[in-house]
Amino acid sequence: MKTLIKNGTLATAEASFGADLLIEDDKIAAIGHNLSTEGIDEVLDATNKLVIPGGIDPHVHLDMPFMGTFSSDDYTTGTRAAMHGGTTMVIDFILQKQGDTLRNALTTWQAKSKDKAIGDYSYHMAVTDFNDQVAEEVKEMIQKEGITSFKTFMAYKGALMIDDGQMVGLMKVVKEHGGLVTVHATNGDMIDALVAKFLQDGKTSPLYHYLSQPEVTEAEASARFSDLLHYTGCPGYIVHMTCEGALNAVRRATLRNQRVMVETCIQYLMLDASLYDKGFESAKWVMSPPLREKKDQTALWAGLNQGLIQVVGTDHCPFMWNQKELGKDDFSKIPNGHPAIEHRVELLFSEGVAKNKITLSKFVEATSTRAAQIFGMYPQKGTLAVGTDADVVIFNPTTKHKISAKTHHMHCDYSAYEGVEVTGKTETVFLRGQKAIHNNECLLKPGTGKFIKRGPTQFLG
């Protein structure tokens, strides 16, 4: 099967230029000017449109058991919604049960994803209980399974959190075998104490979720994580960074020539804590860490431009409204997370490129290329080049549209971005050469998505 995309503006993390792009079977076969249409099965005209690499969202939670319930998108609905928005690959989180093995956790997640994923996927392995046996399994995950990133939580005590001793042990073994440690960096003990105090005082609304995770909880944990990385020499990545204080911890680490890799998420660039003034409706934005202040958004945009932040993900962790209502009388029982997997690429374009906050190359870098490099699957994923997987998006940079729960494809009965007007739309998507999205329809079936084995990080800086 040969598909020719003609007359588009190809955008990569390095440059943008007018060219045609030929897809042959599952790979990009040629990039050039005036490529011949002879023997081509389908020709698509991309005049006045961008042609970009398929988005990679390295932070999603699909069908995840969490806070007494499950996130509401499974591998089919989640990867389909992602595809509609131009994201062709996701990295989900496997959660080890405390006291159980990584292998059992992997088996559970394989059953969730196999035959169900529409887009490509990989897993981060969340280590919630580190010991000698787990250390052996870390090696096996890296060498046999191609799972090279290990997620840790410095919060959610009693469920997911590990202590600093376990963190150092994990970092040492991950470093030895060529992996990467990622972290939810907030000070769990401090947050738990604040939560307990607010509840004791009868302060139960979503606003107190926000107030129980002040900036210092994230800044402190980000600095501590960076220090432990420096001590062990392990490569590390901080997920869902929200604030200036945490960014400054990473900036300080550069003074000793250390690079700590950083992801922020689209909501932290766009939304702010004023959304916690809406009574229980604010539960829509109860996530951890919470939304922050305008000054934090300014710091995050600058961090992206300065290269301190490499990736924009979503932390997609949707819950239906009746699930959010589990916390009607107690903010600490509101399942944490919001739906976003579908909107990340379009929102970053709209807020970033269309409003001149970032360049087109930075947009491609942050939505695709850096994630591929950091998580060890470049150039198979994350760029447009001859021989790479043909994960390709034709994007119309001028189409305006509005986000609504009525029209989105995520399995969630509200939108955290209801009514937001977006400039730029994903029009056609290819996954490994197969037409996946066209005319607002998904053409791929559950099971098309492939597990992608990964190698060591390729972005140590």
Does 336 interact with ligand URP (rule: CB under 6 A)? yes
- Asked whether 409 and 346 are in contact (CB, 8 A), the reply is no
First to last CA, the chain: 39
Q: How far apart are CA 251 and CA 249, in angstroms?
A: 5
Residue 287 touches which member of ligand URP, Zn ion, none, C-beta under 5-8 Å by kind: ligand URP
Does 61 interact with ligand URP (rule: CB under 6 A)? yes
Residue 166's CB: how many other CB atoms inside 10 A? Answer: 17
Does 78 interact with ligand URP (rule: CB under 6 A)? no
Q: How far apart are CA 254 and CA 225, in angstroms?
A: 14
User: Which residue's CB is nearer to ligand URP, number 261 or number 394?
Assistant: 261
- Asked whether 381 and 452 are in contact (CB, 8 A), the reply is yes
Total residues contacting ligand URP by CB under 6 A comes to 8
> Tokens 């994201």 label which residue?
87
In angstroms, give the least distance from the CB of 239 to ligand URP: 7
User: Which residue's CB is nearer to ligand URP, number 64 or number 229?
Assistant: 64
In angstroms, give the least distance from the CB of 61 to ligand URP: 5
> Tokens 């969340």 label which residue?
126
Residue 432 touches which member of Zn ion, ligand URP, none, C-beta under 5-8 Å by kind: none
Report the site for Zn ion in 161-190 (rule: CB under 5 A): 184
Report the site for Zn ion in 315-354 (rule: CB under 5 A): 315
- Asked whether 366 and 358 are in contact (CB, 8 A), the reply is yes
Phi-psi region of 372 (alpha: psi -120 to 50; beta: other; left: phi over 0): alpha
Which candidate, 2, 12, 1, places its Cα nearest to that of 393?
A: 12
In angstroms, give the least distance from the CB of 255 to ligand URP: 29
In angstroms, give the least distance from the CB of 9 to ligand URP: 35
Q: How far apart are CA 255 and CA 28, in angstroms?
A: 41
Non-local CB neighbours of 423 within 8 Å, separated by 6+ positions:
349, 350, 354, 397, 398, 399, 400
DSSP-derived secondary structure letter, 316: B
Report the site for ligand URP in 295-324 (rule: CB under 6 A): 315, 317
Residue 44's CB: how many other CB atoms inside 10 A? Answer: 20
User: Which residue's CB is nearer to ligand URP, number 183 or number 390?
Assistant: 183
Considering only 80, 184, 362, 411, the residue that binds ligand URP (CB under 6 A) is 184
Q: With contacts defined by CB under 5 A, name the span among 134-142, 222-230, 298-306, 313-321 that binds Zn ion.
A: 313-321
Residue 260 touches which member of Zn ion, ligand URP, none, C-beta under 5-8 Å by kind: none
Positions in the binding site for ligand URP (CB under 6 A)? 61, 184, 287-288, 315, 317, 336-337
Binding residues (CB under 5 A) for Zn ion: these are 184, 315
